[in-house]
């Protein structure tokens, strides 16, 4: 397993990274903040948004929500869940909201 050379955030077997002309699965894992409707607002990393917007890539978005976790077992045991599949996902600007900022600190020695 290694990181995608296109700076995606996921891990995949070496042969799964953007092969041409055959496409292998490329899986990204992310999470949505806990809310009454957790599947309504996943938080894809910026690199995945850029990756999906690249016309050379075909990206399907899968959202798994409502997973139950039994915390009385060791290790915890997940079960259930609802899968939503969005084929050929191309995130539109109007559907994205900035949720995090990076701040560059000023140079104190200048």
Cα–Cα dist 71/50, whole Å: 36
Note whether residue 61 is domain-resident.
Answer: yes
**Partners of residue 78 on adjacent β-strands:** 69
Range with the poorest average pLDDT among 29-38, 42-51, 53-62, 88-97 = 29-38
**Number of domains, the chain:** 1
Note whether residue 21 is domain-resident.
Answer: yes
Amino acid 71: pLDDT: 93
Using pLDDT thresholds of 50, 70 and 90, give the confidence band for residue 43.
confident
Instruction: Note down the domain range covering 10.
Output: 2-32+42-93
Long-range contacts of 41-48 (CB under 8 A, 24+ apart): 43/99, 44/91, 45/8, 45/9, 47/6, 47/7, 47/8, 47/9, 48/8, 48/9
Note whether residue 62 is domain-resident.
Answer: yes
Note whether residue 18 is domain-resident.
Answer: yes
Note whether residue 88 is domain-resident.
Answer: yes
Note whether residue 110 is domain-resident.
Answer: no
Mean pLDDT of the chain: 76
Rounded to two decimals, the pTM is 0.58
Note whether residue 102 is domain-resident.
Answer: no
Note whether residue 51 is domain-resident.
Answer: yes
């Amino acid at each position: 397993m290694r990181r995608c050379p296109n700076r995606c955030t996921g891990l995949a077997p070496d042969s799964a990274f953007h092969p041409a002309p055959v496409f292998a699965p490329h899986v990204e894992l992310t999470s949505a903040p806990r809310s009454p409707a957790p599947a309504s607002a996943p938080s894809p990393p910026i690199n995945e948004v850029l990756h999906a917007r690249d016309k050379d890539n075909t990206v399907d978005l899968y959202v798994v929500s409502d997973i139950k976790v039994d915390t009385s077992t060791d290790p915890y045991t997940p079960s259930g869940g609802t899968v939503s599949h969005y084929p050929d996902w191309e995130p539109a600007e109007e559907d994205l909201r900035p949720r995090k900022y990076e701040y560059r600190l000023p140079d104190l020695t200048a």
